[in-house]
Amino acid sequence: MIQYDKEYSIFKIDTPHTSYAMGIADDKYLGHVYYGRKLTDMNLGYLMRAEDHPAAPSVLPREKTGFFDCFPMEYPFGGTGDQRESCINIKTEDGQQGLELAYVSHRIYAGKEPLTGLPATWGDNCETLEITLADEVTGIRALLSYTVFTDTDAIAKSVKIVNGGNRNVYLTKVFSSSLDVEREGLEVLTLPGSWARERRLQRRRLGYGSAAAESVRGMSGHQDHPFIALLSEGCTQTEGEVYAVHFVYSGSFLAKVMEDQFGRTRMVMGIHPDSFCWKLAPGAAFQAPEAVLVYSDAGLGKMTRNFHDLYRKHLIRGYWRDKERPVLINNWEATYFDFNTEKLLSIAREASGAGIEMLVMDDGWFGHRESDNSSLGDWYVNEEKLPGGLKYLADEVNKLGMKLGIWVEPEMISEDSELYRKHPDWALRIKGRKPGQCREQYVLDLSRPEVTEYIYGRLKAILESANIEYVKWDMNRPLADVGNAVLPPEQQGEIQHRYMLAVYGMQERLTHDFPGLLLENCASGGGRFDPGMLYYSPQIWCSDDTDAIERLAVQEGTQLLYPLSSIGAHVSDCPNHITGRTVPFETRGIAALSGTFGYELDITKIPEEERKQIPSQISSYKKYNHLVRNGAYYRIASYQENHLYDCYMVVSQDGAEALLTYVQVMAEANQRSRRIRLQGLLEDALYEIEGRTYQGATLMNAGLLLERMKGDYRAKLIYIRRYTSRY
């Protein structure tokens, strides 16, 4: 529910269990008042301190900049006195900066308007508050939108900037969210990483000064994640407060927290200003991407479940959203580039016999691509490798009762390609410089509509040429040499964002033109695993590191925010191609079962005793996937923290059944069993676990005993079923 109280000049936005409040001070300035547990009171304006010291500008004009520098501005503007991190700044045609945004009007309406060209949360059961602020001197208007859904504890925020003046203005910075938090001893949580080591949890004490997560790579990236959270001191999975913000965007971003001289903390999120400058002609508008805010008063676990609920119900779209996904086998780690139709069909024959439902042909089926050094852009099938083309392959795979999926990398161009020989200027490049290669490839300049049109046209033709039911959309290098010969000098700062809009535009068309298609995004593993991409594809490849043990950490960081149904996870061959580690096949299967589940190995070559386990792994997938997809997720223990074991569970929304995953990474000596305290069960219910019954409250408070297994890297799946509702 959203309310405006005229008497107190207070806006209050309620989700089922939280409130977010703003107030108007000095009849002009929109201040942030509160975000936390639900409040019923509207008398909240005193929290902005605008009436006491330092007094508001109308009372004490001689201290106006001092007021700006400590007022909890809801959408802080730069250049006029607030010296903390601002959300917006501009450059005028006179080359000058500075804004002063004042409250003009607001409206509250049922529903939510889509963000043109951008991914965003959606739904019918929601309400939106739109507040208009304006700068008298330039005519710039900022329209702040806040949407709340009746069934989710999250707030979706976005900002639209309109040039209401009569001269061009250049937006040099436009963030999507700011939140001032007044609390001592805050810690910061971010998700840094690297290729094959994505989204590791990093926590540190904040103190005076700032901390950030950021990308200027033109992609959200492996190295930082567009997420930042402030935690109360010592916050755990079950206790403590969390203020979190996640960005529904896949390009360069800045997430920053900053504690100021008064011990108050500001947390901002938006497009990275370093690579951004957008021209706004008179009357023109710029829509900044959406940011979502979650508050939890019961630790990180509750934050996680709020994000999962929001994304499952109000971000992911399309035919596959709530459905069990086909068990796939991908040939990347099986063959790399060395395959042909016969090899693929031999994998498919064996796979279909084992119960696998889809063959995914990875990189190397087009142009003359025998390695990663050529042919990107030449989206024509290589008939030497695949005689009869995609049609023949799809038909043969379909005859085996399987679906066919393919890999593409539409955003790239190889120097050794027909496309590059014809259009060298289609690669992003800075005037006078030869662009630098990465994986021997360049980035296509998708900010140019003719490039996008061509690439999308090829993609569409390929998908229409055969029965292709799945696409893995890969992106294997960051943007660099960002420039082109088309946009005028004053608009070169728009290229990165235009690029992102073009990627979104192509994926929107794809999902529209092929509504039954299962799209999986990917970027050298999980380099663009973000809420923006999740809007277009219900699943994203999580990491190129398929080692089940390494994967525990990658999956933990990913599960912190994303529903398990969206996390691509495969069983691969051992010794693992990246780490060289050998892990029992059963453990590899159990680790992958908490994601979308599939295989990435040469099924014709793995040992017979492993191949024999595949049908039972698939039947576990069929048996438990409804819980993995829809259940509430609880993180019980983290191998990243304890270095010994990992444990998490999913509980059906009605508490009637649950699945516990336990991975004993190291077999400790002289340790017979471990007591594990479960979560999320019904206190009074009686549960059955492996033939014994336990009370829910006992399992959650006293725990379950898990026997030590023989050897390292052992895993166990434990199914928990409600026996009776009352003990």
Q: Site residues (CB under 6 A) for ligand DGJ?
A: 332, 362-363, 407, 474, 476, 522, 524-525, 541, 544
Tokens for 602? 């040469």
Q: Using an 8 Å Cβ cutoff, are 654 and 626 in contact?
A: no
Residue 405 or 525 having the CB closest to ligand DGJ? 525
Of the two residues 89 and 524, which places its CB atom closer to ligand DGJ in the complex? Answer: 524
Count CA atoms closer than 13 A to 447's CA, side-chain side: 23
Closer residue to ligand DGJ (CB): 142 or 522: 522
- Distance CA(124)–CA(7), nearest Å, equals 31
Q: Which is nearer to ligand DGJ, 476 or 594 (CB)?
A: 476
In the complex, the smallest distance separating the C-beta of residue 519 from ligand DGJ, rounded to whole angstroms, is 14
Residue of this chain nearest to ligand DGJ (CB atom)? 363
Q: Contact, 94 vs 75, CB < 8 A?
A: no
Task: Tell the smallest beta-carbon distance from residue 83 to ligand DGJ (Å).
Answer: 43
| Closer Cβ to ligand DGJ, 74 or 409, answer by number | 409
Q: State the DSSP code for 438.
A: B
Give min distance, CB of 242 to ligand DGJ, in A: 31
- Measured CA to CA, the distance from residue 500 to residue 217 in angstroms comes to 12
Q: Where are the alpha helices (DSSP H) in 207-281?
A: none
CA atoms within 13 A on the CB side of 585: 18
Contact 555, 569 (CB under 8 A): yes
Q: Which is nearer to ligand DGJ, 176 or 476 (CB)?
A: 476
In angstroms, what is the minimal distance from the CB of 67 to ligand DGJ?
Answer: 51
> Is 416 an active-site residue?
no
CB of 474 to ligand DGJ, least distance (A): 5
Minimum CB separation of residue 251 from ligand DGJ in Å reads 19
- List, in sequence order, every beta strand (DSSP E) within 399-467: 403-408, 412-414, 441-443
Long-range contacts of 486-494 (CB under 8 A, 24+ apart): 486/445, 486/447, 486/448, 487/447, 490/170, 490/277, 490/279, 491/279, 492/277, 493/170, 493/172, 493/275, 493/276, 493/277, 493/278, 494/276, 494/277, 494/278, 494/279, 494/447
**3-class DSSP state for residue 598?**
strand
Whole-angstrom Cα distance, residue 454 to residue 239? Answer: 53
Residue with tokens 């295989």: 599
User: Shortest gap between Cβ of 525 and ligand DGJ (angstroms)?
Assistant: 4
Q: Give me the long-range contacts of 580-583 (CB less than 8 A, separation at least 24).
A: 581/547, 581/549, 581/550, 581/713, 583/547, 583/548, 583/549, 583/713
Q: Which of 14, 363, 544, 547 is the catalytic position?
A: 544
Q: Cα–Cα distance between 368 and 363 in angstroms, integer? A: 11
Say how far apart CA 307 and CA 562 lie, in whole Å: 7
Q: Least distance (Å) from ligand DGJ to the CB of residue 541? A: 6
Q: Are strands 285-287 and 155-163 parallel, antiparallel or unpaired?
A: antiparallel
User: Which residue of the set 474, 545, 602, 646 is catalytic?
Assistant: 474
Instruction: Please say if 5 is a catalytic residue.
Output: no
Classify residue 436 by burial, with Cβ atoms within 10 Å: 0-12, 13-18, 19+. Answer: exposed
Cβ proximity to ligand DGJ, 314 vs 551, nearer residue: 551
Closer to ligand DGJ by CB, 532 or 598: give it: 598
Residues designated catalytic? 474, 544
